[in-house]
Chain A
Amino acid sequence: MPAVETTGAEDRETEPQGTGRRTFLKGVAVTAGAASVAATFPTTRRQSDAVVEELAKEHENDPALLIDLTRCVGCGRCVQACKLDNGLEWRSDQPAKGPDAALAWSNYSVVVSRGRAGEDGEPRYVRQQCMHCLDPACVSACFVKALVKTESGAVVYDGDRCVGCRYCQMACPFSVPTFEWDETFGRISKCDFCVDRTSEGRPTACADACLRGALTFGRRGELLTEAWTRIGGRPEIYVPHVYGETEVGGTSVMYISDVAFEELGFRTNLPDTPLPEYTWEITRLIPPVATGIFMTLMALYIKRRRVILEAREAADTAPEHAEVQP
């Protein structure tokens, strides 16, 4: 590469003064730094309303679940059906019903009693399960694609492929995936939206089991209309919010309630932007930034090629020379 040779020679002449090179390096560093900072500021993100609208349209016909907390009496039939259908254990250390109920590897879903909530002081029961986000953070976080969103909208898990890094647990804004902590080779465990049933259009086991009409199974678009009809019909009772309509871009499991969601232990500070969008803001920059850094390194290397190689040579030849002697 003759071009490189000349650059190297020129550099050797200017090197003793050093100032030219230093200015050049400073220029490169400042430009690269400023560019990366400017590029990282979230100026280009799509408007979250637009994203939510787009997602809602795309998943209008997905199977979905509407949970009406005003109708739930906490009987736990849904949880029972869930366990039976999925062959899950009943464990005393992992209650599926009551005040201490929590999602765990033996509980794809639970019904939590929330003490005396609301103005009437009556207990409320909150059913918890995977929300089956429209743009799931766990799926975007899984680096082996063990978690995928199926065409029917269910977020399902392949234990044989999973590595067990638990990034999905970190990623999930609803803390849904659970881990088999006591197993030698722990896997993730989560609700799969009864994918065998729902992909055929049949309701989930839990929705089938509910006698009070607290769980309604249907298409997401229709359920949203239904939810707002119920809220509109009795505005004195319902909180004017469908939890899951816009949270993290929208979910397939949605709640309506007569008590503020925050009081019932729901996370209410979640953005409307799907979480993977944030990561995308960063990962989309990788190729240009990598190219930029590579070019900078290349420029520096071409300038210093001879020095670098000479240093290597010097380190290499001395012992080689010694080895020949005996």
Chain B
Amino acid sequence: MTVRATPYRAATRSRWTFTLTPYRVFLLFVLGGFVVLAAYRFVNGIGVVTNLTDRWPWALWTSWKLTGVALAGAGYSTALLVHFLGRDKWHDIERGAFVLSMLGYLMVCTALVLDLGQWYNAWHPFVYWGYHSVMFELFWCIGTYTVVQVVEFLYIYEERVRVPKVMRTVLKKIYVPLLFLGALLPVFHQSALCSLYVLAKGRLDPLWWTLLLPVFAVMTSFFVGPSVVTMENFVAHRTYGRPVHMRILGEVVRISAWIMLAYFGLKMADYAVRGVLPELFSGSTLGNIALVELVGCVLLPALLFLTPSIRASRNGIRVASALAIAGVVLNRFNITILGMMNSTGEGMYRPSLMEVGFVLGLAAGVSLVYLFLVENFPVYSEDDVIASEAALAEQEAERKAREAAGVPRRIPIHLETRVEPRVPARTGSQRE
């Protein structure tokens, strides 16, 4: 474990900081590439940077958007569990999930603008109401929900930076409505994202086409949430020495396991009712992929989560979470690419390098902003931050010892700017 920075702790810093490590420099490099690519795309159009054709009007970017929104479901599922279903003790994991979710949605919105031919018309749906389209519902819900999340972030922001009194009053007033919107909107756009493909009846393979697409979309995005939170917790543990909340995670994944089982059962029932079971077990490529998706990445992790000894072990919960996430990613790619493959007449979609570059760039952007937010805003709980400070201190001591023994030191670069903190440093130290 090499800790190079600590998350933000109230009243300990009066500057914005960002520590550059080789890995982060690499991410910045990827992000820079993305900016160049985006400029290139805005000048030359979509066809030049992607391999999209009239037969494949949607492909990798769409898969990525569907995946991003599904994984960002971590935000709403955690919020529902914590606020509405009374799991108050899970506050420790809530903000991390929320920030991840907000960044996921901002990423999807960016990707959406990149993917529009006449992006400057993006405001049209607010004026010309094509309400009979699933896209209309999707656009409104995702748009509103992204705004809701950004406003919700202000609650974290105002704990760090002095804000006008008016803003604080307003935030206080709208807290409960936001809570409701934050739980209600995701259900609809999560479902709408997959409902888009309901129109592809006869073209999307029956292994994935069903009228239950929206129900499945909501279920998958809900049950993948705890797995995403688990992985986030483990990554934060490696980056910051943040403690892994094994007990909370164990409880959350147990809930998700039951939903996974229900999903598996419903999926099988749906196959049976529509008579698709023979195709599932036919041994064809698509059938096998669907089996991998359902058995390997839904049933298996659900059973792993339900086994107390596996759930309680770090590797166990990590492997099962990774499987569950892989399952949802696979599902979204199956709907958007593999399931559409046979009807396009052009075979498998081969994305261009630039197209992949966009996806990587967006992911790098999310990672970097996440790191910045965690290190500059109270995202993690106080106890978590104290633990990671301890980890950093311990590591520092080790480094000093090594230095004393004559090993040369490598200095990480700190980028800093002054900020007017909401809590002056001296007050904070008094409080302790």
B-binding residues in A (CB < 8 A)? 21, 25, 33, 36-37, 40-42, 102-104, 137, 140-146, 161-167, 169-171, 173, 175, 177-188, 267, 269-271, 275-276, 278-283, 286, 289-290, 293-294, 297, 300-301, 304, 307-309, 311-312, 315-316, 319, 322-323, 325-326
Say whether B137 contacts A275, CB under 8 Å.
no
Q: Please, which residue of chain B has its CB at the minimum distance from the CB of A307? A: B88
Kindly state the separation between the CA atoms of A25 and B84 in the bound complex, as whole angstroms.
10
- Excluding A183-B117, A319-B10, 19 further A-B contacts by CB distance (< 8 Å) are A37-B215, A41-B273, A143-B139, A161-B121, A163-B124, A165-B115, A167-B133, A167-B196, A169-B57, A177-B54, A181-B54, A184-B42, A184-B44, A185-B119, A187-B118, A188-B117, A294-B184, A301-B179, A307-B86
CB of B426 within 8 Å of the partner chain? yes
Cβ–Cβ contact B422 & A140, under 8 A: no
Contact A269–B202 (Cβ < 8 Å): yes
Is A181 a contact of B86 with CB atoms below 8 Å?
no
Collect the chain B residues with CB atoms within 8 Å of residue A143's CB: 125, 130, 133, 135-136, 139
B residues 157-211 with Cβ under 8 Å of A?
159, 162, 172, 175-176, 179-180, 183-184, 187-188, 191, 195-203, 211
By beta carbon, the residue of chain B nearest A172 is B199
CA distance A309 to B175 in the complex (A): 9
Contacts of A271 in B (CB 8 A): 201-202
B343 partner residues in chain A, CB cutoff 8 A = 267
In the assembled complex, the CB of B293 is this many whole angstroms from the nearest CB of chain A, namely 20
B387 nearest CB across to chain A (Å)? 20
What 8 pairs between A and B have smallest CB-CB spacing? Answer: A164-B117, A181-B47, A186-B117, A169-B57, A143-B136, A143-B130, A143-B135, A143-B133
Taken together as a complex, chains A and B put the C-alpha atoms of A312 and B94 apart, in Å, by: 13
Interface contact A175-B54, CB-CB below 8 Å = yes
Instruction: Say yes or no: B45 contacts A182, CB within 8 Å.
Output: yes
A140 B45 Cβ-Cβ under 8 A: no
Taking a contact as CB atoms under 8 Å apart, the answer to whether B118 and A164 are in contact is: yes
Q: A182 contacts which of B47, B120, B135 (Cβ < 8 Å)?
A: B47
B235 at the interface (CB under 8 A from A): no
Task: Knowing A186-B117, A294-B180, A311-B91 are in contact, say whether A179-B211 is a contact too (CB < 8 A).
Answer: no
- In the complex the two chains form, what is the Cα distance from A36 to B197 in whole Å? 19
Question: Can you give 8 A-B contacts (C-beta < 8 A)?
Answer: A141-B134, A142-B130, A175-B55, A181-B46, A181-B53, A279-B133, A290-B184, A301-B180
B42 closest partner in A (C-beta): A184
B58 at the interface (CB under 8 A from A): yes
CB neighbours of A171 from chain B (8 A): 199-200
A25 to B132, Cβ gap below 8 A? no
A161 cross-chain contacts in B, Cβ below 8 A: 121, 124, 128
B215 and A301 form a contact (CB under 8 A): no
A25 contacts B134, C-beta separation under 8 Å: no
- The answer to whether B431 and A322 touch across the interface, beta carbons within 8 angstroms, is yes
Bound-state CA distance A144–B191 (Å) is: 20
Take A186-B118, A283-B134, A319-B159 as given contacts and tell me if A166 and B139 are in contact as well, using a CB distance cutoff of 8 Å: no
Q: Nearest-CB distance from B129 to chain A (Å)?
A: 8
State the Cβ distance, B267 to closest chain A Cβ, in Å.
12
Question: Nearest residue in B to A142 (C-beta to C-beta)?
Answer: B130
**In contact, A140 and B84 (Cβ under 8 angstroms):** no
A166 to B119, CA, bound (A): 12
A137 to B124, CA, bound (A): 20
State whether the Cβ of B83 lies closer than 8 Å to any Cβ in chain A: yes
Of A144, A170, A282, A315, which contacts B58 at CB under 8 A? A170
**Cα of A198 to Cα of B199 in the assembled complex, Å:** 28
Instruction: Check A186–B45 contact: CB distance below 8 A.
Output: yes
Contacts of A281 in B (CB 8 A): 198, 211
Residue contact B133 to A140, C-beta cutoff 8 Å: yes
* Given A37-B266, A143-B136, A275-B199; A163-B122 close (CB under 8 Å): yes
Q: How far is the CA of A316 from the CA of B156 in the complex (A)?
A: 10
Q: Which residue of A lies closest to B200 (CB)?
A: A170
Across the interface, B133 reaches (CB within 8 A) one of A103, A141, A297, A319, namely: A141
Chain B residue at minimal CB-CB distance from A164: B117
Task: Let me know if B427 is at the binding interface, CB within 8 A.
Answer: yes
Q: How far is the CA of A262 from the CA of B7 in the complex (A)?
A: 62
B212 close to A (CB within 8 Å): yes
Q: Are B118's CB and A163's CB within 8 A?
A: yes
Which of B43, B53, B115, B121 counts the most chain A CB atoms within 10 A? B121
A297–B183 touching, CB < 8 Å: yes
Residues of chain B within 8 A (CB-CB) of A180 are 45, 47, 117
